[in-house]
Amino acid sequence: MVWRALEARRRVSGRATDWIIVRNRLESGDSSNHRQVARVLEVVQRTLGFRIARGLLERPAYREFFAAGLTVFDLAEKLESSAESDKTNLLARLEIENLIREIGFIEDDTALQNESIDEIEPAHD
């Protein structure tokens, strides 16, 4: 069904769909389920031709900002701030910035902070 939809889209637009899979609400620790899903996605990727972007971790900042109608890029002066929440918010913001770069929406990395999320928090592949 997915393959037929991609082919129909290609016939209409004349080009292939740039299909990107982003896993959401990942746990920060590694698990057998995480590894198994990653392996399955890699196999299916070869068949269907999608890209796999680094997923988003489960972060309280996403829930808190969403409930207030904000994103991690909005100033959250009304929300309580602490050193720990500032670090969490920074990690969430860097995670989204890296995803935007990985997808290809931003080509010039100098437009965003030069700081990488991997410098603060190692990747969990």
Q: What is the pLDDT of residues 80-99, one digit of tens each?
A: 566 677 788 889 999 999 99
Into how many domains does the chain fold?
A: 2
Phi-psi category of residue 87: left, alpha or beta, with phi > 0 → left and psi -120 to 50 → alpha:
alpha
Q: Does pTM surpass 0.85?
A: no
Among residues 35, 28, 93, which one has the least CA distance to residue 57? 28
Question: Quick one: tokens of 34?
Answer: 């995480």
| Predicted pLDDT at 39 | 95
| Domain identity same for 94 and 108 | yes
The answer to whether residue 74 sits within a structural domain is: yes
| Domain identity same for 39 and 11 | yes
The answer to whether residue 39 sits within a structural domain is: yes
The answer to whether residue 98 sits within a structural domain is: yes
| pLDDT per 10-residue tile (average), the chain, 125 residues | 88 91 90 93 92 92 89 67 75 92 77 51 52
The answer to whether residue 7 sits within a structural domain is: yes
| Domain identity same for 78 and 105 | yes
| Domain identity same for 67 and 111 | yes
